[in-house]
Structure 1
Amino acid sequence: MTTKANARHHSPAMMRRVMTASFIGTTVEFYDFFLYGTASALVFNNLFFPQFSDLAGTIAAFGAFAAGFIARPIGGLVFGHFGDRVGRKSMLIYSLVGMGVATTAIGFLPTYAQAGLIAPTLLVLCRLIQGFAVGGEWGGAVLMAVEHAPDNRRGLAGSWTQAGAPAGLVLATGAFGLFSLLPPDAFMSWGWRVPFMLSALLVVLGLVIRLKMEESPEFEAVRKSGNQSRMPLVDVVKRHPLNIVLAAGACMAPFVNFYFFAVFILTYATHTLGMDRGPVLIIVAIASAIEVATIPLVASLSDRLGRRRVFLFGAVLFGLYAYPFFWISSAGSDSVLTLGVLSVIGLSLVHPFMYGPMAALFAEMFSPAVRYSGASLGYQIGAILGGGFAPLIMTYLLDTGLGAVNVLPPYLVIVSVLTFIAVFFATQPGRHLAVDAR
């Protein structure tokens, strides 16, 4: 679709409405998703996996956390199929409801002390439903925003969906931080449950906003032309096999970056640096809040400079930051202030250079008839490799006793190199289908 064609279908006011709806809906979804990650680092190890040691229990909790990522590609496939067949809007409604039901249910689960093995089993089941729902969320929200925007504003439009991730993290860590102020016994008995229960109210808000969106003009054009794919998954694998692989590879460093500073840092700070969980939650919330603003700013650069330059710069920056982060954080005299500054740099400044342009880049890599399936599949496979297993791998490396500065930076550097290679080839001339990668 050209900019002129887009203008015929929707006014700037409609584009703003869709961007706002995508941002708020995605914020609600990721509030639910990250709430689990925060609880995995601070609560679930004791309540659902108490038969292990403290750190081993954390590893088990992060294993359950990773289970949600395993379900994400399945959700991406199912929602992508129907998103390319039926439409983007309806799939976003279903994903939001599914996420809300699973998250609210976690707030009512019995603990291991109350129900034995049934408790962690139900916890993992809820996590799988969460993963399935969020697997369909990202692709639909991104495409609704990008396909409503003119070509020269697609990076900015898609970035508001991306900004929903740190916004959801702000809400999740803020909610946990607030209730963690309760006396320890009260927090561990009932306080941790309330943020999960509040998900029901946020889902209602998200639904009200999403029901007011109009369908993507590019999908409507495909539907009217009669060129809808009967089997989008089969067709996208036939048409764009390399792009799926490259999209997954492009996700590695952004996801590891994000989950390091959003989830694993809680374990690193409490176990290695000896900090209390309260200040660390505040650090994560502040860094995430700043990133809500920096993601659109960096994404707008990709509209002017090109996705290639911005994304590759971010991958290099993350790789270069790995060793200095651990050198400085382990030697800082004021550990809270030092970790706060380092986290803001890593999450609020480094991460946006990769995550900001990602939405528009992925949309441009696949043709409209199979775009939901292609973008979702590449993104969710990358989410498993770079996100789902990242906290688990880093916690395992930390448990080796060799020292964080010796075992963790090489892992971060490796994923940075993999992402650089993937983006380098993904943005070669001719790989894009909508605009030039520059």
Structure 2
Amino acid sequence: MTQSPLAADSTAGTKKDTRRALVSSFLGSTVEYYDFLLYGAAAGLVFPKLFFPAGMDPVLGTSLSFVILLAGYVSRPVGGILFGHFGDKFGRKNMLFITLMMMGIVSVAIGLMPTYQTIGIAAPLILVLLRVIQGLAVGGEWAGATLMAAEHVKEKNRGFAASIAVTGGPTGSVFATLVLGLFAGLPDTQFLTWGWRVPFLLSATLVIIGLYLRYKVTESPDFERARAAGEVHTGVPIVRVLKKYPLSALFGTLAVAGPLFMQALLAIWAVPYVAAQGVVSRQDALMMLTVSSVLHIFAIPFFAWLSDKFGRRPVMLAGAAVSVVLVFPMFALLNSGNFWLIALAFIVGNPIIQASMYGPIGAFLAEKFETQDRYTGVSLTFQLGSVIGAGTAPLMATMLMGLPNGGKTSNIAWYFIVLIAIAALSVFLSKETRSKAHRAATAEREVQEQAASL
């Protein structure tokens, strides 16, 4: 029997299992993104000064830090395919336990790393290796956490449930920027000597809590149903995804690139950019990002809830229109030279521009693939979109700012509009899947009732 693109309502777990799955997905994803985004927050503030030769041009040092940042994004699709392969064959739960442990070990290792002054060129090389391992782990985390949440609830709530895991991103960002921002208030000597290390080392506590929750959660009901039907442990998931869902994978990848570009732009590039203007301190800039991320945590489920009511495509297309309309005003606020208007720019960018299209993304991607291929399909599409959008964001922004046309942030705005236009076209060409599982479940029940009456 072939699974519908999201299993029937009957596969939803008990209320206790559902609550545990949602909390586990949310907190586990929060820990993962705390670790991953902590590097991004530190990349523009700390690493250029500590892990490259003294006297290096600051712009070059920052660019090299962003290249290492990109290495983590490039490794994410590989991690998505790797963990997706085993997650589609043997279950979601064990893979999520492994990814979380990997992230914690890497984060603590970064916090203990010697600098360039101590071990020379080995410092940036080790940083690259750790970042790649970190990317592998995150590559398997996002899809697994999202599916564990979505596959534990009834079809009518899939969008909202998937968004609970998705909000782990901004929640992790809140913790990362808040903790780093607190230590960024130290004098430069103390901050660069030990202050920046503490947030990385604190990750160990969060990981222990996350691992406990991951251990207690039950396996996905959708996966268990597919396994009982004999639809798993067969073939190679990535081959099936590329053969069976080529357009779904393509449209999914392009749909996430634009929103993820904005998320990474604000989290990584914008903080050192506004701090360099001299109007706000690096600590103030991090706090602005933190406030916008707090609002982001509520905005993502709101737009996901709307997609449960009105469909994935209408909400995401409306979000694309909002993004195009507001991107130039956002940059105008960012360049205003006024403390409160700069803070408003972060709020416009994250909980409005980014969340309006990104909120439904978990269910939008999950509903494109059948259960036995879903972990691989969602991992591949989301992580490839991450490379195109988020991974290149700080490098593209730095490059576009330096173009000889003098457009500076206007160049970034136009580039973002191109990404959003491509994303909107991909959503428009995708099928609406919100009610597909419900229709399939209803049809199956009708067949069973007719058979029983004979």
Whether TM-score is above 0.5 comes out as: yes
Bigger shift: residues 288-297 or 271-280: 271-280
Bigger shift: residues 350-359 or 400-409: 400-409
8 Å contact kept, 1:19–1:157: yes
Deviations 1:139-186 (A, max 9, x none): 110111111111100001000111000000000001111111222101
Deviation at 1:434, TM superposition (A): 3.6
Deviations 1:287-323 (A, max 9, x none): 0011111211111111001000111111121122221
**Is 1:143 paired with 2:147?**
yes
Deviations 1:94-147 (A, max 9, x none): 000011111110011111111111000001111001000000001110111111
**Is 1:133 paired with 2:158?**
no
8 Å contact kept, 1:365–1:433: no
8 Å contact kept, 1:366–1:432: no
8 Å contact kept, 1:365–1:434: no
SS at 2:114's partner residue? coil
After superposition, the Cα gap between the structure-2 partners of 1:179 and 1:214, relative to the gap in structure 1 and judged at 3 Å, is: same
1: distance between equivalents of 2:230 and 2:9?
22
Q: How does 1:315-326 map to 2 (within 5 A)?
A: 315-326=320-331
For 1:209, the equivalent position in structure 2 comes to: 213
Deviation at 1:2, TM superposition (A): 5.2
8 Å contact kept, 1:366–1:433: no
SS at 1:351's partner residue? helix
SS at 2:329's partner residue? helix
For 1:280, the equivalent position in structure 2 comes to: 285
**Is 1:30 paired with 2:26?**
no
**Is 1:84 paired with 2:88?**
yes
Q: How does 1:355-434 map to 2 (within 5 A)?
A: 355-400=358-403, 402-426=406-430, 428=431, 434=437
For 2:302, the equivalent position in structure 1 comes to: 297
After superposition, the Cα gap between the structure-2 partners of 1:147 and 1:75, relative to the gap in structure 1 and judged at 3 Å, is: same
Deviation at 1:13, TM superposition (A): 2.6
2: distance between equivalents of 1:325 and 1:419?
20
Deviations 1:248-281 (A, max 9, x none): 1001111011111211111321234653201100
**Is 1:270 paired with 2:275?**
yes
For 1:172, the equivalent position in structure 2 comes to: 176
2: distance between equivalents of 1:313 and 1:57?
39
8 Å contact kept, 2:322–2:353: yes
Structure 1 stretches of 5 or more lacking a match? none
Deviations 1:65-118 (A, max 9, x none): 010000000000000000000100000000000111111100111111111110
Deviation at 1:6, TM superposition (A): 2.4
For 1:258, the equivalent position in structure 2 comes to: 263
8 Å contact kept, 1:367–1:433: no
For 2:68, the equivalent position in structure 1 comes to: 64
1: distance between equivalents of 2:56 and 2:103?
29
In the alignment of these two chains, the number of paired residues is 431
1: distance between equivalents of 2:15 and 2:289?
34
Deviations 1:20-53 (A, max 9, x none): 1100000000000000000001101111124531
For 2:332, the equivalent position in structure 1 comes to: 327
8 Å contact kept, 1:85–1:230: no
Deviations 1:408-438 (A, max 9, x none): 1111111111111111112x358996468xx
2: distance between equivalents of 1:260 and 1:69?
14
Instruction: Calculate percent identity across the aligned residue pairs.
Output: 40
2: distance between equivalents of 1:413 and 1:254?
10
Match 1:21 to one of 8, 19, 24: 24
8 Å contact kept, 2:313–2:432: no
Deviation at 1:350, TM superposition (A): 2.1
After superposition, the Cα gap between the structure-2 partners of 1:173 and 1:429, relative to the gap in structure 1 and judged at 3 Å, is: closer
Deviations 1:209-268 (A, max 9, x none): 111100001101111111113211111111101111111100111101111121111132
* Code of the aligned partner of 1:197: L
Task: State the TM-score, normalized to the length of structure 2.
Answer: 0.92
2: distance between equivalents of 1:98 and 1:181?
30
8 Å contact kept, 1:75–1:135: yes
1: distance between equivalents of 2:250 and 2:278?
38
RMSD: 1.7
8 Å contact kept, 1:222–1:368: yes
1: distance between equivalents of 2:437 and 2:263?
28
SS at 2:75's partner residue? helix
For 1:234, the equivalent position in structure 2 comes to: 239
8 Å contact kept, 1:248–1:381: yes
2: distance between equivalents of 1:182 and 1:2?
52
* Code of the aligned partner of 1:259: A
**Is 1:310 paired with 2:315?**
yes
Q: Which is higher, the Rg of structure 1 or of structure 2? A: 2
Deviation at 1:403, TM superposition (A): 4.3
Structure 2 stretches of 5 or more lacking a match? 1-5, 440-454
2: distance between equivalents of 1:274 and 1:299?
36
8 Å contact kept, 1:179–1:191: yes
* Code of the aligned partner of 1:294: A
Deviation at 1:356, TM superposition (A): 1.1
For 1:247, the equivalent position in structure 2 comes to: 252
For 2:3, the equivalent position in structure 1 comes to: none
SS at 2:186's partner residue? coil
8 Å contact kept, 2:279–2:339: no
For 2:444, the equivalent position in structure 1 comes to: none
8 Å contact kept, 1:92–1:137: yes
8 Å contact kept, 1:254–1:351: yes
8 Å contact kept, 2:163–2:362: yes
2: distance between equivalents of 1:14 and 1:52?
54
